[in-house]
Amino acid sequence: MVVNTISNDKALDQLIKMSNMVGADTALVQGGGGNTSVKSDDGCNMFIKASGSALKNMNKEKGWRRMDIAAVLSVLADDSLASKNAAERESEVVARLLWACNDGLGAGARPSVEAHLHALLDKYVIHLHPVAVGAFVNAKQGKQRVEEIFAKEQYPPLWVPYVDPGLTLGKKIEELIAAYSKKYGRKPPVVFLDKHGLLVSDANCNTAVKIVTAVIDKLDKAMPKVQKGGSLKPSRDEITSAKLAVRKAFFAATGKYSPVVHFENANVAAILNEKDGAKLLAAGSLTPDELVYSNGPALYIEKTDADFIGKKLKTFIEKNQRPALAYAVKGIGLLVACEPKTASVINDIQSGSCFARMAAAQMGGIRVLTEKEAQFINNWESEAFRKQVAGAKSGGELTNRVAVVTGAGSGLGRSIALGLARAGAITIITDIDEAAASATEAMIKAEMPGAMAAAVKCNVTDEQSVENAFAAVMDKWGGVDIIVNAAGVAPAYSLVDLPVDKWRLSLEINLTGYFLMARAAARIMIKQGMAGSIINITSKSGLDASKNNTPYNATKSGEIHMARGWAMELGEHGIRVNCVAPGNVFEGSKIWNPDYIKACAKKYGIKPQEVIPYYVNKTHLKREIKGQDIADSVVFLCSDKARVITGQVIVADSGQVMVR
């Protein structure tokens, strides 16, 4: 295979080593951005980072493409592209760069959209967005300061004024490099991209890395003093309240669910304490990365009131056409409304942006993307692709709704957790058996690599354990939209043989457990103000009693009546409460264990191996019920399709108990 030959290429090894080295330094790389390239010794091919991948994660299997340099440069030479409109032109450039790949990897990963910039420079190219560089390239006096700092260099940096990225930037750099080469007899080792970042290139890999370090050192020494933010030290309750307020405001403004993640960010703390902090953040987007990943700068929030935040957010949307994803909240820090994987990228970008704004303010003031420049970025398909790859979002009718499932380490709870994840929900798997919960999490992520799921140990009968579990959910996700009570036991005894400890255990798990979990979830849902859904997994035995099953009959019937009462109480908050009453689900069940099956066989005078066929044959559909069947009922009840259904019971039993 072509790939096997390529994977042993010396140039690829050098690219991976160089990329991993600079990608691990957060002072150099903002949110995993930037790209690198290495040309082959004969100058015919170039290995370059793939779009949307992180430098630190590059390896021999992924994160790069190999390109024919002549084919890349032919894009710049094609004058016919200039006659096309921007969208059509850039779309064709993307296609042409993909065609220039000669590694046999197919179209799964795109080469960096800045491939033509790399092709114009020396053998080893490093393109980064260091915090220090951000301050200078976004300052009104930035170009002047850079020229002063590097005045004694034999080969001074090349400053590239801002133009639209893509083909326009490529042609501009081609023109400037040609002029530089004519003047100095070589290509520029250092290039500053206005409102963007830094390009460094050299014929030697180690020298290229050293140049990056030297440039940053010089800039750091010349950097205006920026105040330190210190620690804001908000309490857990304050952070939780702020998350709920932002989440509600975001939902009200966009109609979309989103987790909300909190970051303790020193640069954000500093700008929050800055006298002109609000003004600095309101100025506009500094760089394409900030616009692409955050939809602009962090929205400055003075108080954590959902209505107040909502009004500011709507104004932001009217101005920027997209909702803010980052929120600089007074006394709290940075809140980001998106999944944690992308939220950490946004945190990095906003940290660098806040520092750059404060430093640039002392160098004649900050320069931001103009409305026209920002509009180009917003409409640029290449950046949308890069964000999509980096985020790896999942989809479905419950996308980004936070769902907590009890007893999800096995059986029906596991099936429901899988079903919710397939529908796009952020799924929190709770179980007293932590290893089993983790196994369910692993199953979800193996099937759906982009899914968001987490295992949390929880004893549903213990009030403190329940509170701790929901605190963990709030810490990571910032809200709760769905709670499914699925943990349960079914001790099978005749009345005269029933031990009282088994009776009490059933009451504790099947009733107290449901109550404690629902109470904790409802408290959050009410404060959150975004409605919600509570599902009790009861049983057909809660509607039609079964023999030798006193604890199960009583508790499953009780779960139905609890749900009906909760539906009456919580309806005014838009919280819907329903039940799913499964028939006999044997698949992966802890209830249908060998001892329980023996008890059932004894009850009906049949052999243990005949028990499951016996129960299936009792249904009118003569069809065994699977875990996914119950999960589908749960997903329906949690979805907007069931928006007017509350206080009801869906009997999913293949037609055995007819509800009247």
Query: Could you tell me if 283 and 357 are in contact, meaning their C-beta atoms sit under 8 angstroms apart?
Result: yes
Token pair belonging to 267: 């640069």
Verify whether residue 552 is a known catalytic residue: yes
Amino acid of residue 486: A
Residue 584 CA to residue 597 CA, distance in Å, equals: 12
**Pairing between strand 299-301 and 326-329?**
parallel
What does the DSSP 8-state code read for residue 329? Answer: E
Distances (CA, A) of 255 to 277, 323, 327, 336: 29, 11, 18, 17
DSSP for residue 625: B
Q: Which of 293, 327, 552, 615 is catalytic?
A: 552
* CB 231 within 8 Å of CB 363: no
CB of 40 closer than 8 Å to CB of 11: yes
Cα 605 from Cα 550, distance rounded (Å): 20
Q: Tell which residue, 198, 205, 214, 204, has the closest CA to residue 153.
A: 214
DSSP state of 8: T
- CB crowding 363-392: b at 16 or more within 10 Å, else e: beebbbbeeebbebbbebebbeebbeebbe
Could you tell me how many helices (H) and strands (E) the chain has, helices first?
26, 18
What is the dihedral angle through the alpha carbons of 598, 599, 602, 608, rounded to the nearest 10 degrees?
A: -20
Residues with catalytic function:
552
